[in-house]
Amino acid sequence: MPSVPASPRKRDTGEPGVPVIVRWSTILARWTLGVVLVSWRYLWATTPLHRSVEAGDATDLPPPLPEQLVDDRSQPLESGVGPLFRRLFSVEIQDSSWTAAELIAEVAADLNQAVPAEVTAVETISGVPGELTIGDEVVVRIPGPWDGPVRVVHRTGTSFRLATLTGHLEAGQIEFRARSHGSQLRFEIEAWARPSSWAIHLLYSRLQLAKEIQLNMWVRFCLNAAHLAGGRARGGVTIRTRVVDQPLW
């Protein structure tokens, strides 16, 4: 049974003596710059994006978390606020000789190969760099005071799933997976998440700021996964969103 790693040192995100309104203005400016940079890259790449939004239901809940990987630093779905967003990003990869297992192994070896470097970096907190096994923890560094600490809660030869920890923008889980699809590869990112606080809910659901930077980041991740596999994205990236407003937890 995998053990839960010791808590990493908490990152200091405040600046003593700086008024709250100044700090938040700086945060929003950095987020906006991040959105612009990432958006510029994928818009000028003329990548077709196929987006849909529909109402969700009880079938949109994430897989249950393994009890042995839940502790006082876990930030499960029920700890968040606002609606549940279940989002599926997918790309068909053409002209790749790789298998699904080879692609996932390469992505898991270093997530920085696929995230947009303009606004994101991934740092290993616990576990062996170059590997991604159950119980390992990584932090996704993004603009603003909130990083994205996550823990590996599921791992197979063709997938891995991460659960959010305290301090993350969201509460929930996200899974990365690949599979053969005819003569092609299919790469998917599926997220089940809610904003972690009312402040994030405002940025995500009302102002759309966090939502758009997240969408841009995972679109770029899908395109980079296709590049890593030595192939090309066929038909662009599909983004399917299901929104669950009623309480299910």
What tens digit of pLDDT does each residue of 131-165 get?
899 999 999 887 655 678 999 999 999 999 999 99
Report helix, strand or coil for 192: strand
Q: What percent of the chain stands above pLDDT 70? A: 75
Extract the runs of DSSP E, i.e. beta strands, from the chain: 49-55, 84-94, 121-126, 137-141, 148-156, 159-164, 170-181, 184-195, 232-244
Which pLDDT does position 202 carry in this prediction? 74
The band of 10, judged by pLDDT with boundaries at 50, 70 and 90, is very low
pLDDT at position 181: 79
In this predicted structure, the answer to whether residue 14 has a pLDDT above a threshold of 70 is no
135: left (phi > 0), else alpha (psi -120 to 50), else beta?
A: left
Q: How confident is the model at residue 12 (pLDDT cuts 50, 70, 90)?
A: very low
Among 210, 216, 209, 205, CA closest to 239: 216
What are the tens digits of pLDDT across the range 101-123?
999 999 999 999 998 877 678 98
Look at residue 103 in the predicted model and tell me its pLDDT: 97
SS3 helix, strand, coil % of the chain, rounded to 5? Answer: 30, 35, 35
CB 143 within 8 A of CB 54: no
- Confidence (pLDDT) at 108: 96
Residue 9, pLDDT above cutoff 50: no
Report DSSP letters for 111-157, one per residue: GGGTS-TTT-EEEEEES-TT---TT-EEEEE-SSS--EEEEEEEEET
Query: Mean pLDDT throughout 188-203?
Result: 86
Q: What is the pLDDT of residue 173?
A: 98
pLDDT confidence bin for 211, thresholds 50/70/90: low
The mean pLDDT of the chain is 82
- Residue reference for tokens 């897989």: 63
Q: What is the pLDDT of residue 15?
A: 45
CATH 3.30.465.10 fits 20-244, yes or no: no
pLDDT, one tens digit per residue, over 67-102 is 999 999 999 999 999 899 999 999 999 999 999 999
Top-confidence range, 79-83, 210-214, 221-225: 221-225
Q: Give the whole-angstrom CA distance, residue 221 versus residue 44.
A: 16
Residue 51 confidence class, pLDDT cut points 50, 70, 90? very high
Better pLDDT: 169 or 185: 185
